[in-house]
Structure 1
Amino acid sequence: MRMEFLVILLYLLPTCVLFLYSCAQLSLVWSYWHRQAPIEELSLLTSLPKVCVQLPIYNERYVIERLIDAVCAFEYPQELLEIQVLDDSTDETVALIAQKVAHYQSVGFAISHIRRPQREGFKAGALAYGLTLTQAEFIAIFDADFIPAPDFLQKTLPHFSSSSVGVVQTRWGHLNESYSLLTQLQAFGLDGHFVVEQGGRNADGHFINFNGTAGVWRASCITDAGGWSSDTLTEDLDLSYRAQLRGWQFVYLEKVESPAELPATMPAFKSQQYRWMKGAAECARKNLWKVFKNEALRFSTKTHAAFHLLNSGVFIAVFVMALLSIPALLITHESPRFNSVLGIFQFFQLSVVILLGFYGTTHYGRKSLFELAWQLPLFLSVIMGLSLHNSIAVIEGYFGKKTPFVRTPKWGIVQHQGNWQQKKYLVRSLNLLTWLELGLVLYFGFGLALGLYWQTYSLVGLHSMLVLGYGFVGYYSVKHSLS
């Protein structure tokens, strides 16, 4: 009896956690619709500042040339534009950069090919090193897979009219959203962050984050916040919180889009997820207590900061709830008296309804009801299917286990043009974790069969989504690893 009660309790606790997280998302939906900051009428800058564009690069042979071309096409006076190609590459990318840089230097661009003596600190170290070599007032940063528009600086710099603004961040677009079902689902989820989360937090005056790329920093803000640090895998989130704790304001521009390439394979996507989830957990470990101690912050801002920094921990809650769902099903079948307690599971179902409003807001006017109807349940299923993989990353982050920064490979794919097969930088994930994910398909399939056989339908929907999600993740992990 005591063990049965413990299992049911451990099953219900993560369900309540997920419900609280959904309530935080609902709050952001409310802020997005009802508290949008007024659109500021910005005039053209009368005195243009000097801008340094930093391009941190590590082995990007397929995309580096188009990035340099895009940055050199900026509609900005050449004498005020400095470009740093911060190149840590170890392959033929070095020669491609050297050739491009030499060409643009010959036509008058202040562009430099910077090779550090030692590759320490990964991306954060490269950005910090480049900062010591420039006197520019503003620093624009782009990862290798982005193609910024020519008017990027014209649309972002006017928002620094207040001296308290430290960062202007733009929304990511997607160069290859239609490439595959995997890229469509990635775009579906990322848009939720870049529309409702960033937009809602910014509208309400809460902390947001620089997304590592497609944004502009005031150089003095970076210095005042303590500079770039490589002690987490998400140096962008870390510096964002340190800067805002110092009182700097961030501006988010949802209407300014900076397109980028989405990971085209499941192993590459999982590699990116690992870095983001673990890095967020590391940042929570490093910065959350500082947020709570800051007496200048509103309680609501502290609350949203907690959900923001701890959001990767949701995957632990999803995995624990999923894993214990079958023992809970067995217990309630043998001991019907627990059915009333299990009614708390309706919180999970309510969470799904809230997420429908969240992603409905995200894609309002962008997707049809038909697209939303099939993409949302499939996206949520795949998120569940990543819960084991991402939970491992989050736990490592919370416990301080250090691992190197692993870049996400990109192959120059634009919509349906291009491919990744037989190219360099392929990530393979055919390992023990992949086999465990495939094993969980059988595990949750067993739970689904039990529910149908016993005509106990309360968990049929959950187990169906888990079978689909783990099947999707496991299948494409194997398929893309063997291709």
Structure 2
Amino acid sequence: MRHRPVKARTPRSHWVLMGAMTLALASMLLLGGILDHQVGGEGTGGPHRPLGAVGVPPEMAAGGPVVDTRSGSQRSLSAQPGKVALTFDDGPDPRWTPEVLAVLARHHVPATFFLIGAHVAQYPGLVHDEVRAGDEVGVHTFTHADLATEPAWRRDLEFSQTQSAIAGAAGVSTPLLRPPYSSEPDALDRLDWAALQDAGKHGYLVVLTDRDSEDWRRDGVQKIVDNAVAPVVESSAAAAAPPTAAAGTAPSAKPGTAPSAKAGTSLSAAAGTLPTAAADTVPSPAAGTPPPGFVLMLHDGGGDRSQTVAALDRLIPALQARGYTFATVSAAVGAPSPMVPAGTGARWKGEALIGAVEVSGFVVHWLGWAVLAAGVVAGARILILLVAARRHKKRRAAPWGPPVRRPVSVIVPAYNEEAGIRATVESLSASRHPIEIIVVDDGSTDRTAAVVEELIARRRLGLPPLRLIRKPNGGKPSALNAGAAAARGDLLVMMDGDTVFEPETIAWLVQPFADPSVGAVSGNAKVGNRQGILGRWQHIEYVVGFNLERRMYDLAGCMPTVPGAVGAFRREALTRVGGVSDDTLAEDTDLTMAVIRDGWRAVYEERAVAWTEAPTSLRQFWRQRYRWCYGTLQAMWKHRSSVLRGGAEGRLGRRGLTYMFLFQVLMPLLAPVVDVLAVYGLVFDNAARVGAVWLAFLAVQALMAFYAFRLDGERATALWTLPLQQVVYRQLMYLVVIHSLVTAVVGTRLRWQRMQRYGSLGTPAAGQQHV
């Protein structure tokens, strides 16, 4: 690995895979949202009576319940005398449809089921059972949409998707359609009529109703039976006499209505010539005239249908006692069944739709549980961090042991650090602890070495010794190893060339070495250039994320990273692990894990403050975090065997690596799911509830941030950007993690990507705040 500037070239396969995954997730959630939140049997559609019945042909409004507008025709058909067509809407339902089918089978009665396509896709076996039992099926749209108010493209989609689902479930195609929210023909208005005409253009025969059982009201079993079974009246001689109208015409059973289709004609026949009796009364069977046929509307889905099932078991015998026989809609009007076998292509398309619905349901269900689990884990993490931070604060109030005053070697690896190296060296020169400064120029192509040489030439008496080592470019690990080899001290402080120390930083940083078990010490890195919104976001992340976690890691004995910006190592520990390795791009994490696995402790000293220059552009930020994340994944994989070991290794593996895997890998992977599900909830669910949950989460984050800022002695003015950070910065971070994981899966070798330096940091005084 070299410190050469590398033009960022992201392999196209990364973005293709990420885009495909995102599209697949969005599609499944969209389908799940439509199925779960836009499908219902008792919505708020039609009728549209304020518009009036203007535009509806009178003969259609007063005609039979079967409306045929195909091929430009306008005619209606009625059930034959003595025939009842039981129709059920809003199914199939996994609970109520099997009970309805059981009642029908017990009485040997067929029926016609008008199916919601989404439910068909969810429960295809029930549709297959209906067709196998000899029942008829029809379309009730895919989502129970009010066709009268939907645009033409939506109607077409509702029809086609429902047909596909039926073809995939039962292998048949049907031209029967019942629009949601429809009732008797005389309830049609001009919007309904326009929708019926459009359905006719799509080849559909619309089935309305003569009687509505109103079982959707759930007024009780007896009320449903009363609505379905009309009272018996004695027929007069006139009612029993044959019609006297001229051939080809017939008086309507309802005053002022147009004649309906002739009983017994096929669906393609012309309007009939026989009269039909009124549907609200039934003549006595003793009169010798068959009772008037009718289409009865019931429901097997869309809510609790227990009353419907109970009423069905009573009304069938009641109607049979009145002389009625039961038939499907097509048989009731005297036509052959219009259902035909679906083509192979239609069946495949339907099976694909059913498969997609099954996958969507599975994904949405388990994602919901995963998000719930993630929320619980995230809440537990916040609680653990806060408790650990408080305990760590109290523990670190006690001294580590006798003061450590022996000289320290400070190693500064530098590659093209001309902009900031002067401030770095000058800040070290102000240190109140005895040190030597070693700048290792790793083959810089700018004036980094020249700047250091100028500082050496002007070195005054009393300042710490300053040495420059020049070497060919070999990468940061080799530069650190070169500096360690040249260092005189047994305590080595390592820092970046874009970082400045406070005068007391090194003194605080080396005090933990009073404990002979300590092999590495992490300092408190802070963002120095925090003027812009990106700088403030990184400032919040450093204080709330990195430093709170380091306190917890310290207490748990599993510190995974001593940051390259401000860290110290015992020479003995560094030598025993073979120096700084170049196996990963996160050399600081790799080195820290190796030191812990060798039996040393790594601790956190919050008073050892260092100011670092953070990226100032999104491009630079992305490249830095991409390298960090990819390198961390490499280090975790390299040291994965520590999970199965005992002692310090086991603490690192089972505590540190497990925590990192949960919150640096899994949680970022779930983060986009959480955001997508939040949008999903806003669109398909209770927006107020989703908003309240998000605000509660933000409030918890804000409280944790305030506490972390207080612990670090920081002003909380930057926290005004916290809400925006949750909807922008957090998404950038999880995209970085996803990108890094995809890079690892694809097998791409990521090279070192250096950040552009601007030299925005000055030499701080003790306790100075960089704002």
| TM-score after normalising by structure 2 | 0.47
Residues 133-142 or 310-319, more deviating: 310-319
Deviations 1:210-230 (A, max 9, x none): 011212111111122232112
Q: Does 1:189 align with 2:544?
A: no
Mapped to 2, the partners of 1:347 and 1:126 lie a distance apart of: 49
Alpha-carbon offset, residue 345 of structure 1:
12
Alpha-carbon offset, residue 328 of structure 1:
8.0
**Contact 1:55–1:84 under 8 Å retained in 2:** yes
Alpha-carbon offset, residue 160 of structure 1:
0.7
Give the 3-state SS of the residue equivalent to 1:254 in structure 2. Answer: strand
Give the 3-state SS of the residue equivalent to 1:267 in structure 2. Answer: helix
Q: Which runs of 5+ in 1 are unaligned?
A: 334-338, 416-483
Match of residue 60 from structure 1: 417
Q: 1:226 aligns with which of 578, 587, 601?
A: 578
**Contact 2:442–2:471 under 8 Å retained in 1:** yes
Match of residue 430 from structure 2: 73
Q: 1:384 aligns with which of 703, 726, 730?
A: 730
Mapped to 2, the partners of 1:116 and 1:272 lie a distance apart of: 24
Match of residue 216 from structure 1: 568
Alpha-carbon offset, residue 68 of structure 1:
1.3
Match of residue 203 from structure 2: none
Match of residue 2 from structure 1: 358
One-letter amino acid of the structure 2 residue matched with residue 60 of structure 1: E
In structure 2, relative to structure 1, the CA distance for the partners of 1:348 and 1:135 (3 Å cut) is same
Match of residue 532 from structure 2: 180
Match of residue 394 from structure 1: 741
In structure 2, relative to structure 1, the CA distance for the partners of 1:133 and 1:414 (3 Å cut) is closer
In structure 2, relative to structure 1, the CA distance for the partners of 1:58 and 1:370 (3 Å cut) is closer
Match of residue 187 from structure 2: none
Mapped to 2, the partners of 1:107 and 1:13 lie a distance apart of: 64
In structure 2, relative to structure 1, the CA distance for the partners of 1:184 and 1:349 (3 Å cut) is closer
Alpha-carbon offset, residue 64 of structure 1:
0.8
Match of residue 670 from structure 2: 317
Alpha-carbon offset, residue 10 of structure 1:
5.9
Give the 3-state SS of the residue equivalent to 1:173 in structure 2. Answer: strand
Q: 1:294 aligns with which of 618, 630, 645?
A: 645
Deviations 1:397-430 (A, max 9, x none): 4665321111222212249xxxxxxxxxxxxxxx
Match of residue 554 from structure 2: 202
One-letter amino acid of the structure 1 residue matched with residue 742 of structure 2: I
The structure richer in helix per residue is 1
Q: 1:143 aligns with which of 472, 488, 496?
A: 496
Match of residue 468 from structure 1: none
Q: 2:619 aligns with which of 264, 267, 276?
A: 267
Match of residue 157 from structure 1: 510
Q: Which has the larger radius of gyration?
A: 2
Deviations 1:245-270 (A, max 9, x none): 22211221113321222222222222
Give the 3-state SS of the residue equivalent to 1:404 in structure 2. Answer: coil
Q: Which runs of 5+ in 2 are unaligned?
A: 1-356, 763-771
One-letter amino acid of the structure 1 residue matched with residue 757 of structure 2: K
Mapped to 2, the partners of 1:357 and 1:110 lie a distance apart of: 45
One-letter amino acid of the structure 1 residue matched with residue 422 of structure 2: E
| TM-score after normalising by structure 1 | 0.72
Alpha-carbon offset, residue 8 of structure 1:
0.6
Identity %, equivalent residues: 22
One-letter amino acid of the structure 2 residue matched with residue 88 of structure 1: G
Q: 1:403 aligns with which of 717, 735, 750?
A: 750
**Contact 1:192–1:359 under 8 Å retained in 2:** yes
Mapped to 1, the partners of 2:470 and 2:369 lie a distance apart of: 51
Q: 1:255 aligns with which of 582, 598, 607?
A: 607
**Contact 1:87–1:113 under 8 Å retained in 2:** no
One-letter amino acid of the structure 2 residue matched with residue 81 of structure 1: E
Alpha-carbon offset, residue 139 of structure 1:
0.8
Mapped to 2, the partners of 1:34 and 1:261 lie a distance apart of: 30
**Contact 2:574–2:595 under 8 Å retained in 1:** yes
Mapped to 2, the partners of 1:280 and 1:200 lie a distance apart of: 18
Alpha-carbon offset, residue 56 of structure 1:
0.8
Q: Does 1:412 align with 2:759?
A: yes
Q: 2:704 aligns with which of 336, 358, 367?
A: 358
One-letter amino acid of the structure 2 residue matched with residue 201 of structure 1: Y
Mapped to 2, the partners of 1:412 and 1:130 lie a distance apart of: 23
Give the 3-state SS of the residue equivalent to 2:459 in structure 1. Answer: helix
Mapped to 1, the partners of 2:637 and 2:690 lie a distance apart of: 30
**Contact 1:8–1:328 under 8 Å retained in 2:** no
Q: How many correspondences in the alignment?
A: 398
Deviations 1:307-351 (A, max 9, x none): 225533233222344457667888x67xxxxx9xxx999998876
Give the 3-state SS of the residue equivalent to 2:395 in structure 1. Answer: coil
**Contact 1:169–1:253 under 8 Å retained in 2:** yes
Mapped to 1, the partners of 2:591 and 2:378 lie a distance apart of: 24
Match of residue 470 from structure 2: 115
Deviations 1:15-39 (A, max 9, x none): 2346424423431222222464252
**Contact 1:160–1:166 under 8 Å retained in 2:** yes
One-letter amino acid of the structure 1 residue matched with residue 725 of structure 2: F
**Contact 1:73–1:150 under 8 Å retained in 2:** yes
Q: Does 1:33 align with 2:390?
A: yes
One-letter amino acid of the structure 2 residue matched with residue 250 of structure 1: A
Match of residue 433 from structure 1: none
Deviations 1:457-480 (A, max 9, x none): xxxxxxxxxxxxxxxxxxxxxxxx
Deviations 1:251-291 (A, max 9, x none): 2111332122222222222222111221222222222x223
**Contact 2:409–2:438 under 8 Å retained in 1:** yes
